[in-house]
Copies of this chain bind each other. A is one copy, B any other.
Amino acid sequence: MTQARERGRPRGFDSEAALDRAVEVFWRHGYEGASLSDLTDAMGINRPSMYAAYGNKEELFKRAIARYAEADMAYAREALAAPTAYQVIERFLRANADALTRADRPHGCLSIQGGLAAGSDGGTVAGFLAASRLAGEAALVARLARAVDEGDLPAGTDPAALGRYVMVVSEGNAVHAAAGVGRDALHTTVDIALAAVPRRPGDTTTPA
């Protein structure tokens, strides 16, 4: 895949690795709270290098979000592959609770604490994050709709409502995790939340 060597002086840093550092800074301080000095210090590069590589702060943030979605949210895509709707939901909420409380990462969810309120800008960043979260919700809803078609969920089940409920639980857990609530407590919340998820009559996997 390594095509012909570029012409001028080669870049002195790994663009993806630097992005990982930026993810962590945005995650910990939010979009507004993360200054360019914070970012470039953590990334190990100086300002002009950052601007040359990513454009500006907002573009860097979008790239960071994309990397976050790809790396730190991989569990969500994996959960969607579970055989039954109940297992999709359970695996998602369990893996989410773990991801929200990793020791080597900030607690909580970058997509939420990156920026909820409309900051100094006109809410561009908050809107971008909201759209990103709702896209994830749409993917889950699509999976649940398929489950209804397959008879895996009761006929009357509203996949949009159920998917939204699951995302609400995950977001609420993210807020709790950001407040310092521990992993066990999040899983206990998942225990209760799962009681509201309809199951196929014969399904008795992992009873509460």
Contact = CB atoms under 8 A, between A and B. Distances in A.
Chain A binding site: helix, strand, loop or mixed by DSSP?
Answer: helix
Measured as residues with beta carbon below 8 angstroms from the partner, the interface class of chain A is 35 or more
A112 B175 contact: yes
B30 A116 contact: yes
Q: Which one of A27, A113, A114, A117 has the highest number of Cβ atoms from chain B below 10 Å of its Cβ?
A: A117
A178 interface: yes
Contacts of A32: 30, 32-33, 119
Interface in A181-208: 181, 185, 188-189, 191-196
A77 interface: no
A81 interface: no
B193 A164 contact: no
A15 interface: no
A39 interface: no
Nearest to A31: B117
Contacts of A167: 172, 176
A179 B130 contact: yes
B168 A176 contact: yes
A192 B161 contact: yes
A116 B112 CA distance: 8
